[in-house]
Structure 1
Amino acid sequence: MGIPIKAISVVRPGGSLIAAGKKTLEVRRWHPLLQLGENLLVVENNRFLKGEDEDQGAAVAIVRVTAVRPFCKFDMALACASSFEEGWLAWVLSDVRSLAFPIPVAARRKIYEVELPDDFPTAQIGAHLSV
């Protein structure tokens, strides 16, 4: 059956930088359909996805989005960004739980739901698994 969790795909090396605690902001044009503080699985993949496109990815971390605010030029280092554009949103990532081993997972656009293996260490998910 698996353990359901919401996921987001991030192009390499962004997912690894999040898992390492170096990238603390994720920048998107849209507001996440999440409760603030809800668990979010970070799936790293190799390329930008378009339309209904999918790619093979690897789950590398579980995080919480604790705030969403306008992306500012001074945020570029926290987002590990190389360019800035007005109107984008900065998702503040916290409670980063890096996975000991990457788990193969499909990479999709927007926020989507995946199922973690039944034997996934629930301590990494935390006390409040939200879907």
Structure 2
Amino acid sequence: MSKTKLHEMRIQKQILQEEMANLVGMKQATYSRKERGISKITMEEWEIMSKILQVEITAIYQDFSRKNQMVSNLKSPHLDIPNYILEEIDFLKRENLELKEEIILLKEKLKGIIKLI
């Protein structure tokens, strides 16, 4: 399995898996499964990890869902799928990520507003 963006960023920041796991609040084995895409990472965990690594979520976020893996399989050289369909899928994936980021920002703003009340 190829290295994930999260793994590469953690290594770049010179943080051990065990350290990262402790900072996120989980056991090293659990963190390892999440980092490799075996276990799901919640949006809250993505937020925590991006803060620890001092990067935007987009720098580490990857969708490991089965749907995403199926889309990746569509790019197999054995399938003859027109490029415009693959390009549209890529566009929709980027747009979906942008919308998820916007939701996170709006949640942060809402938390700030609620604190003021």
Which category of TM-score, normalised to the shorter sequence, fits these structures?
under 0.3
TM-score, length of structure 1 as denominator length = 0.22
Structure with more of its chain in helix, by fraction: 2
Which structure has more relative contact order (CA 8 Å, sep 6+)? It is 1
Structure with more of its chain in strand, by fraction: 1
Of structures 1 and 2, the larger Rg is shown by: 2
TM-score, length of structure 2 as denominator length = 0.24
